[in-house]
Amino acid sequence: MNSATTLRSILGALALSAIGATGAWAQEKITVPTEEGVAATEVPADAIVVNIAKMKYQTPELTIKTGDTVYWINNEVMPHNVAFKKGVVDEGEFRGDMLGKDEAYAITFNEAGTFDYFCTPHPFMRAKVIVE
Amino acid sequence: MAFPREATPKYLLLIGATLACSALALGTAFAQGTPTPQPEAPATAAEATPEAGASDVAGGNGDAASGATAPEDAATGPTAGQTEGQRGAAEAAAALAAGEADEPVILTAPKPDARRVYIQDPAHFAAVTQQYVIDGSTGRVIGMTDGGFLPQPLASTDGSFFAQVSSVWSRIARGDRTDYVEVFDPETLQPTADIELPDEAFRFLVGTYQWMNALTTDNKNVLYYQFSPAPAVGVVNLEEGKFDRLLEVPDCYHIFPASPTVFYMNCRDGSLARVDFANGETQVSNTEVFHTEEELLINHPAYSPQNGRLVWPTYTGKIFQMELTAEAATFREPIEALTEEERADNWRPGGWQQTAYHRQSDRIYLLVDQRDEWRHKAPSRFVVVIDAKTGERINKIALGRDIDSINVSQDAEPLLYALSAGTQTLHIHDAETGEELRSVKQLGRGPQVIMTHDMDS
Ligand SMILES: [Cu+2]
């Protein structure tokens, strides 16, 4: 019942899976450069960005390529995050750091697939990343 | 998991125990203050009472032993009539004088009727909680059940059982979490079913809203709400004693069953969702939007599964009414619970369970008082009674004290239940006249939810 809430625990879980030796996990589905949000000013100018405002992810459906990194930037004071249900990016759930105004959070997608996500305290905020 | 309900019969056991224990038990389990005369108590019993060592019960006003008092605004003291504690002492003394032996037994509660009332005490978010089973006609506590964290109480419409959806942890408030549905026999109060919910189907932990969980109209399934990670409704099959499945629903809240497989929810977009889960499928459709974003619907609507009437006030006392059937929701013309003058004078609804609906008379009861706009959870001292059909004001009852929750019994001459979380007291009024008849004290730490069986049709 433990939740993989940080990069470390996700990597730990993956390492354990690998030791489990079925070979089912060829690579991590996602990697997170930093566990905590960073200032929006640190987001590279050419980055793929999903803005969060007015209780919505402004790009509800985003299509990217394998290996791309997506930056979420919160434009309002209402705190938001990016979370995945159990089984989407890991066996457990994944809960990204809560972002204040003008904070950003990055996730690199390493595998093709459709990744539905939501905001932890606002389950009605939903969107998806399609990795091709 | 094991049944942790042994404590309940023990309270009842004490009641039938020795004379000294009887007085003690009355203090523990029978917190009530009925000042009604009990003429059937024999005179000889009253004489024998001091010898039975219960003089503080018979000689005083009953407070010390029964833990209860008569209503402050009613006649008090021994002259006002015999308290429950005095009656018990007199009976025990008479039994002793007659040479009757004391045979301790586990009692059963009387058969449920329309005037039985359940008081759920969420205890200000404590890890364990209690529910009091009370006979509204007499104001006697007739039993108790234990619950975990913020349990959601449920009562079958026919009185055949009551139940709760609850949560416990392996180390009181931490460790492994277990969510479960527990069904109780209404007379023995023993659990007749204990059904675990799977981890991925955990329920919503929230201040207890009466309609966040519900029984289907055939009383065969429990429907409970899940908030996170996504809005969902869990179905628990009581006939088979097992968790059935989690239904994916839109961004909607509360559960109002209209048939064995159809229920409605209130959605963020301002509409109702109709959910049909027959034959292992989930079909969802939405009604028209029936209120604006500025019209804030409170967390405590009244609903009668018996006639499908949903009564939903806003922060200002505007009341939306819907008729819910298996097929569709029909919206009635909204009514105003408060007059224009009252609204100009800062009258607004407020409290916890602020709305009650009496099905037979088609009347709405709403807790109101003068208050600031953002003091909507503070208690109220008045109840307005409204004809649900015409919107006409029938009565404005001054309760005389701060009240957080109200409900009514569904019999032809209803009782108005007025519960104070602040004083942990249930005040029982005549719903027609508003007069207070009796009260029941010492109901936990913060009792908030009043539930009845609608079984008198
Ligand atoms: Cu959010």
Q: Give the distance (Å) from ligand 1 centre to CA of residue B44.
A: 72
Closest residue to A124, CB basis, from B177, B199, B268: B268
Distance (Å, rounded) from C-alpha A80 to C-alpha A57? Answer: 10
Q: Pick the range with the lowest mean pLDDT from B81-85, B99-103, B316-320, B334-338.
A: B81-85
Active-site amino acid positions of B: 149
Q: Read off the DSSP letter of residue B185.
A: -
A60 lies within 8 A of chain B by CB: no
The CA-based angle B283-B287-B290, given to 5 degrees, is: 150
Q: Give the distance (Å) from ligand 1 centre to CA of residue A52.
A: 8
Chain B residue whose CA is closest to A117: B229
What confidence score (pLDDT) does residue B34 get? 41
Q: Give the distance (Å) from ligand 1 centre to CA of residue A121.
A: 6
- Contact of B249 with B265, CB cutoff 8 Å: yes
What confidence score (pLDDT) does residue B456 get? 76
* Residues B251, A83: C-beta atoms closer than 8 Å: no
Distance (Å, rounded) from C-alpha B420 to C-alpha B427? Answer: 8
Contact residues, chain B, for A126 at CB < 8 Å:
230
What confidence score (pLDDT) does residue B69 get? 41
Place of tokens 């519900």: B214
Residue A18 tokens read as 């690998």
Q: Best residue in B206, B228, B268 to probe A by mutation, most A CBs within 10 Å? A: B228
Q: Which amino acid is at B65?
A: A
Dihedral over Cα of A20, A21, A23, A29: its sign:
positive
Chain mean position to CA B27: 22
* Residues B229, A123: C-beta atoms closer than 8 Å: yes
Greatest mean pLDDT among A30-34, B52-56, B221-225 lies in: B221-225
What confidence score (pLDDT) does residue B82 get? 83
Closest residue to A1, CB basis, from B199, B228, B268: B199
Q: How far is CA B112 from CA A57, B153, B305, B327, in A?
A: 52, 16, 18, 32
Chain A residue whose CA is closest to B226: A123
* Residue range B12-45, pLDDT digits in tens: 434 443 333 333 333 333 334 444 444 443 333 3
pLDDT value at A14 more than 80 = no
Q: Pick the range with the lowest mean pLDDT from A94-103, B4-13, B352-361.
A: B4-13
* H-state helical runs in B49-184: 55-59, 63-66, 84-97
Q: Which residues are bridge partners to B385 per DSSP? A: B365, B395
Show which of residues 73-92 on chain A sit within 8 Å of chain B, judged by CB atoms.
Answer: 83, 85-86
Q: What is the dihedral of CA B138, B141, B145, B149, to 10 degrees?
A: 100
What confidence score (pLDDT) does residue A8 get? 40
3-class SS at B367?
strand
What confidence score (pLDDT) does residue B401 get? 97
Q: What is the ipTM of this complex?
A: 0.76
Distance from the Cα of A42 to chain B's closest Cα (Å) equals: 30
DSSP B93-131: HHHHHTTPPP------PPPP-TTEEEEEE-TTT-SSEEE
What confidence score (pLDDT) does residue B83 get? 87
Interface of B with A (CB under 8 A): 176-177, 199-200, 227-231, 251, 268
Mean of pLDDT over chain B:
87
- Contact of B363 with B387, CB cutoff 8 Å: yes
* Residues A83, B177: C-beta atoms closer than 8 Å: no
* Residues A1, B200: C-beta atoms closer than 8 Å: no
Place of tokens 């985003």: A62
pTM of this structure: 0.82
CA nearest neighbour of B128 among B7, B300, B254: B7
- Contact of B252 with B263, CB cutoff 8 Å: no
Q: Best residue in B178, B196, B199, B251 to probe A by mutation, most A CBs within 10 Å? A: B251
Mean of pLDDT over chain A:
84
The percent of residues above 90 in pLDDT, for chain B, comes to 81
* Residues B229, A85: C-beta atoms closer than 8 Å: yes
Q: Give the distance (Å) from ligand 1 centre to CA of residue B39.
A: 64
